[in-house]
Copies of this chain bind each other. A is one copy, B any other.
């Protein structure tokens, strides 16, 4: 194969109590990546949509880093053109870097004739995450590659699985357009958690998994609490607590920070409610005079996919 065009979905990581464990893929938003072989051995990055902050040097661009690692592993000296069209801004908390890393890994694997397993692709994409955020976390890249609701059971060895979720579960997302870099956002987290908090967090993790698998919206909602990131990162997001209160009072099932923020997401029962909640969130941030984008989505079951 000479060239390919793929879509790599944006993702919500952490998903309430699942810090560094849970991830889910969104529909329609994410990266479109076109990748083709070159005659020379250069990797040329070309962001289509003009995000000036995306580095174009292959060794600094997350897609370039992932591609270089994969080519090195396969001992291939060919170059690549990588054209990335993003519709999720970097620093949104919607796995912008993860989509590019996952998408690059998926696209190059297709070009190469699929030599790598899904787990290997996740591992390559994690190398990209490590280069940008300082930590090789898998929650965004696994969700983007595999689609669905993904759980990182462990990192040593890397064990990832998907769980079923209610068909009618929708997501409203608002991205208040202030920038919170993952690498900054990780710095403010506590390095230890008290045993009582560990127990509460565990109860919420168990509740969210059981609620999703058992179609129990009430249990899902009751479990959407986080004692690791939310208490700290919420202070970096203007209006977070008011916004959360408002969406819960208006029928959202649960609400939390997407990834390291500043995006906020809410689970809803059905698409109409997701639209209503997204509108409320947009109005809320408009009132605060903070530019924002809102999205509505079901959970994307496909993950990365070839576009024709």
Contact = CB atoms under 8 A, between A and B. Distances in A.
Given A210-B209, A213-B210, A214-B213, A154 B195 contact: no
A199 B161 contact: no
A292 B303 CA distance: 52
Nearest to A17: B202
Interface in A151-196: 151-155, 159, 161, 163-164, 189-195
A20 interface: yes
15 contacts: A17-B202, A19-B199, A21-B199, A21-B206, A152-B203, A153-B222, A154-B204, A161-B207, A164-B214, A189-B195, A190-B195, A191-B194, A191-B195, A193-B193, A193-B195
Interface in A8-34: 17-22
Nearest to A22: B206
A210 B161 contact: yes
Interface of A: 17-22, 151-155, 159, 161, 163-164, 189-195, 198-207, 209-210, 213-214, 219, 222-223, 228
User: Quick one: copies of this chain in the complex?
Assistant: 2
B206 A18 contact: yes
B207 A151 contact: yes
B22 A154 contact: no
Contacts of A151: 203, 206-207, 210
Contacts of A18: 202, 206
Contacts of A213: 209-210, 213-214
A206 B203 CA distance: 10
